[in-house]
Structure 1
C-alpha cells in the first residue's frame, strides 16, 4: 500500500534514535530548559549505566507486573475480576555522537490472565528513528516503527460481541525538517499510519468483522514559530490529513423502527489550523497554549446514517502547561479537542474533548509520588450517542539503586454512555505492582 512506500522512503532518508532532540544552537530563541520537571530531573545514582557498543550505548530493561483488575471485560453488570501477569522486555540502542543521531529500539509485552486465558495476548514494537544535523539550526529527522497492539476492552471502539480482545498491526513512518532563522523557526512534517485489524470471534465462534477498520492515514503539516522574546514564541500551524479505508462499511438491513443502512465509505479529508504560544516564564510556568479550527470532510456523507452535512468541524486545541511551585513538585495541565474515527454504524467520526491535571512530587531523591485526574467526552456525529469518561491515577516509584526500581499504581476509570445508540457504561479499578531491572 501507499504507506509502505512512504515508510521505506523515510527509512532510507535517515535512520535514528529512540529519543530525538532538535539540533539548536546555544543561543536559540526556542530553548525551554530553565526549569526541570520532577520526571526530567537527572538522578545519576539511579539511572541505567548502559552497555557501550563502540559509538553506541545499549540500554536493556525488563519489567514484571502483577495487576488486579475488578472488571476485565469493562461491563456494567456481572463484572469479572482477575489477576494479570505481564513481562515486558525492552532494548534501546542509541548513538553517542556529537552530531547526528542513530538508534534502534524493541519491546514486547506478554499478558497472562490467571483465570481467563482467552484474554492472553502478546504485543511488540520495533523501531528506528533519528536525526541528521545539516547546518546550525537545521536538521532532518525520520522514523519507522511497526507494532502489534491490543485494543483495551475499555476503549470506545472495542466491539461488545468479541470473545477475545481485538489485536491490530500499526506501521508508522515520519519525516520532519526544521530550519531556524534567528527569531523564526519553520517546521515541516509528514507522517503516515497503516492500521491492519485482525477479525475477532464471538461467544458462538462466529466472526466479528474488523476488516472495515483497515485504513491508511496520512498527515502533512507546516508550523511557523516567531520568538517575540527569549522566553516566548508565537506560532501558527496547519496540518492536513487524508484517511483511506480498504473496504466499504457493510450494508445493514432494516430492523423494526431502524431504517436500512446502505454500504458506505468512511474515507475523509481534513485539516487543523492552530494559533498559539509556547513559553517558559520566570514565574515557574512552561508550556504551550493554542486554539483553532478543525474540520473533517466525509466523501460518502449522504450514505452515513443521518448526516446532513459533509463536514464535521469545531474548536480545536492541544494545550499543555507545566507549573513548578517548588523544585520538588511539578503540576501539569493538559487540554485537547480533536476529531476521531468512529466504528459505530451510521457515524463517520466523533469529537473527543478532554482534560487532565497531574502532580509529580519528589518525596526523596529516589522516591517519587504521582497523582492524576482526568475527564473526557465524545460526541458522535450522525447518531444519538455521547460517552463521558472520568478517571484517576496514583502511583509511587521507589528507585532502589541504579539497576532496580519498584512501582505501585492504582487506576480508576468510569464511562457513561447515553443516547439511542449508546455503547457500554462501566467502572473499572486496577491495582498493579511492578519491578523493573535495568542495566
Structure 2
C-alpha cells in the first residue's frame, strides 16, 4: 500500500494484466517467510482478471516471455517533509522503466523482474530519489511431491513515514540497500503440504541530511536478519485448509547505537490458522499465535505477545472485489534509548471496481496503532486514497491517484503530520 510520503520513488512493476501504481515506498521489513498459498483458482479478483483486448502481449523468446514497460508521472504534495509546522508544498516528476520475465516451462518455473524509479522534486533537491529493485525466483520440481524454490532480491529503497522505526520527517529522507536470499523446500502429497524455509536479509542505511542541513549517520541501523521457518498444512476439503507455522529469527546490528549496546536479539513466532478459497464468496488466510523477542543486552526489555495475520478478499459481484488485511507484528525501533521494540497493529481495507472493462476504480483505507514497549508512547497512523486506471489499449495505460495520510503521537506533538497528494501517470507497455 502506498503512503503519502511522496511516493515518488518506488515504481510498482506492472503485472501481466495491468500496471500498478508507481509511487510506493517501503518500510524496513522482510518478505513473508513462507508466501501465502490460499489461492486455489476458485475466485478471480478485479485486478487479476484477464482482459484479452487490453492485456500486454510481451515478447516471446523460447520458453520465456518478457513484459517491458515505461512509466512517467507528475504529482503534488502539500507537505514535502512531513512536518507539523512550516509545511512546504512542491511538485515532482518521475521516470520508471521496468521489465518482468516469466517462463512457460512444463513443470519448473523461473521469474525475474527489474525496475527503477528516477524521481525529481521541482524545488527541494534533497527529496530527489533514485531507487531500483531486482528480483529472481526459480522453482525446481522433484518428482510429483517435492519442489525447491530459490529467491534473491536486491533493492535500494526509501522508508515509509509510518514505519515507526524513526521519526517520519527523517524517514522521508532515509534510504537503504536491502539484499534478500531465501530457499524453500516443499512436500505436497494428498491432503498434506509441508514447507521449510530459510532466509537472510541485510540492510545498509545511507547517511542523510535533514531539511535544516543537519547531517545524520545511520550506521547504527545496519543489520542482518536470519530466519528459519517451518509450516504444515492439512486440507480439510478442496476449499479449506488448516495450518501451523513456527519460526525462529536472529537479528544482528553491526554498529553501536549512541555508544550503547546494540539491539541484537533472537526471536520466536508460533502461529496457527486456516486458509480458504470459497468459490464466488471469498478467499484468504487467518491466523493467530505468539511472538517473542529476547535481547542479548539487559539494556532492553524482552518483549512478547499475541501475533496476528489475516488477509481476506470478498467477491460480492464479479465486478467488485473487497479486501481486508489485519496484522500484529513486533518490530525494532530507534526512537528511544529505553526501548528496543514496538507492536505494530494495522488494519487495511481496499475496494476495486470494474466500471468498464478498461476502467478500474480503487479505494484504500488504513489504520495503524504503534505501541512502544516500556514507554507511554503511542502513535496512530491514518491513510486514505483513491485511484482510477484507464487502459486506452494494450499499449497505453493512464492512471490518476489522490491520497491523504496523517500520523499523531500522544507524547510528542512535533512528530505529528498530515499530507495530501495527487498524481497523474502514463505507462507505455508491450
1:395 maps to 387
- Partner of residue 105 from structure 1, selected from 113, 117, 120: 113
8 A contact 2:176–2:204 mirrored in 1: yes
Deviation, structure 1 residue 164 = 8.0
Change (3 A) 1:358 1:164: closer
Task: Establish whether residue 291 from structure 1 lines up as the match of residue 288 from structure 2.
Answer: yes
Change (3 A) 1:204 1:275: closer
Higher deviation after alignment, 160-169 or 343-352: 160-169
**1-structure distance, mates of 2:232, 2:169:** 46
2:187 maps to 179
Task: Establish whether residue 377 from structure 1 lines up as the match of residue 377 from structure 2.
Answer: no
**2-structure distance, mates of 1:164, 1:365:** 37
Task: Establish whether residue 75 from structure 1 lines up as the match of residue 83 from structure 2.
Answer: yes
Structure 1 unmatched ranges of 5 or more: 1-17, 20-28, 252-262, 305-309
**2-structure distance, mates of 1:327, 1:164:** 39
Structure 2 unmatched ranges of 5 or more: 1-14, 17-36
**2-structure distance, mates of 1:199, 1:271:** 32
8 A contact 1:176–1:188 mirrored in 2: yes
Change (3 A) 1:162 1:283: closer
1:219 maps to 227
**2-structure distance, mates of 1:111, 1:401:** 26
**1-structure distance, mates of 2:422, 2:225:** 35
The secondary structure found in structure 2 opposite 1:97 is: coil
Question: Could you list the per-position Cα deviations for residues 91-120 of structure 1 after superposition, in whole angstroms to 9, with x for gaps in the alignment?
Answer: 112222112122332110111001111211
Deviation, structure 1 residue 30 = 7.0
2:45 maps to 37
- After TM superposition, the runs of 4+ consecutive aligned structure 1 residues lying more than 3 A away are 152-164, 202-207
**1-structure distance, mates of 2:213, 2:38:** 57
Q: How does 1:424-435 map to 2 (within 5 A)?
A: 424-435=415-426
8 A contact 2:371–2:378 mirrored in 1: yes
- Partner of residue 303 from structure 1, selected from 299, 317, 325: 299
- Partner of residue 142 from structure 2, selected from 123, 134, 139: 134
Deviation, structure 1 residue 54 = 2.2
Task: Establish whether residue 325 from structure 1 lines up as the match of residue 316 from structure 2.
Answer: yes
- Partner of residue 159 from structure 2, selected from 151, 156, 173: 151
The secondary structure found in structure 1 opposite 2:220 is: helix
The secondary structure found in structure 1 opposite 2:126 is: helix
Deviation, structure 1 residue 154 = 5.7
**2-structure distance, mates of 1:285, 1:204:** 50
Change (3 A) 1:30 1:87: closer
Deviation, structure 1 residue 153 = 5.0
8 A contact 1:163–1:201 mirrored in 2: no
The secondary structure found in structure 1 opposite 2:415 is: coil
8 A contact 2:160–2:171 mirrored in 1: no
Task: Establish whether residue 437 from structure 1 lines up as the match of residue 398 from structure 2.
Answer: no
1:312 maps to 303
Higher deviation after alignment, 346-355 or 375-384: 375-384
Change (3 A) 1:383 1:366: same
Question: Normalising by the residue count of structure 2, what TM-score does the alignment of the two structures yield?
Answer: 0.87
8 A contact 1:30–1:230 mirrored in 2: no
8 A contact 1:178–1:188 mirrored in 2: yes
**2-structure distance, mates of 1:295, 1:163:** 26
1:357 maps to 349
- Partner of residue 272 from structure 2, selected from 264, 272, 275: 275
- Partner of residue 236 from structure 2, selected from 228, 231, 253: 228
Deviation, structure 1 residue 385 = 1.4
Change (3 A) 1:362 1:164: closer
Task: Establish whether residue 92 from structure 1 lines up as the match of residue 100 from structure 2.
Answer: yes
Question: Could you list the per-position Cα deviations for residues 370-422 of structure 1 after superposition, in whole angstroms to 9, with x for gaps in the alignment?
Answer: 11111001101233311101111111110111111011111111100112x67
Deviation, structure 1 residue 66 = 0.8
8 A contact 1:218–1:242 mirrored in 2: yes
**1-structure distance, mates of 2:230, 2:421:** 41
Deviation, structure 1 residue 147 = 0.8
Change (3 A) 1:184 1:316: same
2:198 maps to 190
1:409 maps to 401
Deviation, structure 1 residue 158 = 4.3
2:28 maps to none
- Partner of residue 237 from structure 1, selected from 239, 245, 256: 245
**1-structure distance, mates of 2:49, 2:288:** 30
**1-structure distance, mates of 2:308, 2:239:** 22
**2-structure distance, mates of 1:353, 1:321:** 17
Deviation, structure 1 residue 71 = 0.7
**2-structure distance, mates of 1:152, 1:356:** 16
**1-structure distance, mates of 2:146, 2:427:** 38
The secondary structure found in structure 1 opposite 2:344 is: strand
